[in-house]
Amino acid sequence: MQQPARIYPNIPIGPKTPIALPKTYDRLSDLVYNMWWCWNENAIELWSRIDPVRWSQGGNPMSILPVVEPSIWEALESNASFFQLYKDVIAEFDDYLHGDNTWYHHHHDGELNSPVAYLCAEFGFHTKIRLYSGGLGILAGDHVKAASDLGIPLLGIGLLYRRGYFQQAIDPDGNQQHTFIPMEMSRRPIREVLDPRTFRPLRVKVPMAGREISVRAWRIDVGRVPLILLDTDLPENDPADRPITHLLYVRGREMRFVQEMVLGIGGARVLAALSIEPSMWHVNEGHAALSLLERLSTSMDDGATLEEARRAVTERTLFTLHTPVPAGNEVFDLGLAEHYLSGELPHITDDLLRDLSTPPDGNTSRFDMGALAIRLSEISNGVSSRHGEVSNQTWGALKGKPIISITNGIHPQTWVGPNMARLYRRSVGELWDRQVIDHGAWERVRDLSASDVWNAHQTQKQIMLRFLRSRLREQAGRHGRSPERLRWIDDQLPLDRLTLVFARRFATYKRAGLLFTDPARARALLTNPERPVQIVFAGKAHPADRDGQALIRWVTEISQTPELEGHIFFIENYDIELGQALVSGADVWLNTPRPPNEASGTSGMKAAANGGLNLSVLDGWWVEGYHGSNGWAFSEEPTSDAEDAGVLYHLLESQVVPAYYERDAAGLPQHWIQMMKEAIVGAIPHFSTQRMLVEYSEAAYLPLGAGTEDNN
């Protein structure tokens, strides 16, 4: 895929993995190498029709195409409906890539001469490309997709984690097991970046405590956006340096620091080697902050004074905070930073390192990536209105100007289930996915019939429940449970039961166990024979987080007690695939962190976009999203867990459960459905990444990047 040359420089890349295809369908080789297909419903159907069985087992077209039997291709050659679908998808794909019907073209065409550089430690855009662990990576993936949809010139930079984040398995005692599975590169749509001068594989050097390591670059295309991924697993590197980019969020602080050197310093050097001068730089969380030191050093090496270099770096940098308190940011011992950086970057002295990285509390023995990024950015932002307020309280003194707020969003085309998407095509418009930020169009959702909304939700819920039973059977089978027990699972998770979902990272401040503060009251609520409730848990705890793992074990143990068995389920290995199922089918999305620790949260937005109702503390995005008729809220200020649990029980007992089970003569919960409509109308246009990218563009990308000299 070629990007428009006026904005995107040509980034030469190596060959594709050869795939034997019939001439009739040879454009599948282009489609499979662009992740656009993963948020296009017609393209997904196209892959599924080639080999439905293999597709259902993994959803990775690069694993399917090389093993398609000749007889299948022969049958598809004469299949008129498949051929028409293929032609339609390829036409839509070409129009998407090369057409100019985008928000950026219509509103700001020509204002940026080169792409925005978007640096992030993780990117999540498909379950088979495990470059993500959770919320930050999923947001970054949605950010890239929305930038592509809107035509905003953006280029992503991250790390190629060959073993990714861990795969989670729960043993019979509830203990979390961690497995790191190598990524099969030949089965991923990734190609090596070439040096534009020699057309040989590109290499840059990154200093590393008195030595240099080689870094190579790979490219994945995400719609119109190229994503460059950096890799240290090279034969010429010392065996001790090759694993630097293997694992996402390693336990060891020293290894984490050198990873962030590769991301920040290596990322800036790869762009320089490609002769790309970004219009501006978006440092997404502190992991990529060392790119600022590299840029500062380079500017001074070109003859600028420290103040001139600092101004040049700052005036073209946006930094986004994703955590509400300094303790949640990347902080290292200053001695570790000096060991790796002193004398390695020209003009970056120990005194300068200390001055730029001292945290807000003034502890000069700490190297704070967030503090470094705030001091060297023109604009810093929090990711919700509430988070912006908290950030100004803790970080404002470093900035000298207010930290602004740009609330996170979701990419609806990725997270809205197919049945709700069909409703949106009928009400919002056939091209609803291009009207995401048209508030007026979404008002038409209120005119949908109650039965249509309810039936679409129930179908998605049924699909979710079947998926969950399949996961539970697999889990129980691995534990050696009996055939009788596996058959028992088939009768669990009934469709007509109110279903709550709690799915997120298992950190203690998120309070997964809040609902069980009063065991007797929780038991009475869940097992009421007239109005039963079931709750589904999912989430990973970091391998180094013993308290989070203990919480998973505790929830698992509770789910196995005779009194609550069949009402509580823990589903292992929370990933994009499971996340898509849960947000599309949940009745209620439960969120219980201690305020003000939730910077934003986006999973609740995804549930709301499908008509799910949020039951959440008033923190993060829900402060802006809640308006009384689209869900329930509690605990805006810090209180005790016991007090919050009491309010949570009261809401469930007096409002949530009665509203779900109150039905009219046709069996429809009319009040509940009205709240579902309000959730959709409030979520999609207001909390989409399309809206978010418009805000980023008008508040930062264009003011900082417009008029930059075109050096490409």
pLDDT per position as a tens digit, 19-71: 999 999 999 999 999 999 999 999 999 999 999 989 988 889 999 999 999 99
Q: Which domains does the chain have, with CATH numbers?
A: 23-98 (no CATH), 112-161+193-409+694-705 (3.40.50.2000), 415-431+438-687 (3.40.50.2000)
Note the pLDDT of residue 707: 60
Assess whether pLDDT exceeds 70 at residue 710.
no
pLDDT digit string, tens, across residues 514-531: 999 999 999 999 999 999
Residue the block writes with tokens 């402060």:
623
C-alpha 186 chain-centroid distance: 24
Note the pLDDT of residue 5: 42
Average pLDDT value for the chain: 94
Q: What is d(CA 272, CA 263) in angstroms, rounded to the nearest whole number?
A: 14
Assess whether pLDDT exceeds 70 at residue 712.
no
Contact, 196 vs 274, CB < 8 A? yes
pLDDT digit string, tens, across residues 70-110: 999 999 999 999 999 999 999 999 999 998 899 999 999 98
Assess whether pLDDT exceeds 90 at residue 711.
no
Note the pLDDT of residue 597: 87
Note the pLDDT of residue 636: 83
- The whole-number average pLDDT for the span 562-568 is 95
For residue 369, what are the contacts with CB-CB under 8 A and spacing of at least 6?
260, 286, 287, 289, 290, 329, 330, 331, 332, 357
Note the pLDDT of residue 328: 62
Q: What is d(CA 303, CA 13) in angstroms, rounded to the nearest whole number?
A: 33
Note the pLDDT of residue 708: 55
Q: Cα dihedral sign for 248, 363, 312, 105?
A: positive
* Neighbour count for residue 200 (Cβ, 10 Å): 11
Say what the pTM is.
0.96
Q: Name the amino acid, one letter, at 598.
A: E
Note the pLDDT of residue 535: 98
Name the DSSP letter for residue 25: G
Cis amide leading into 596 (omega within 30): yes
Q: What is d(CA 465, CA 474) in angstroms, rounded to the nearest whole number?
A: 14
Please name the residue ranges forming H helices in 479-602: 483-490, 519-526, 546-559, 576-585
What's the chain's Rg over C-alpha atoms?
A: 25
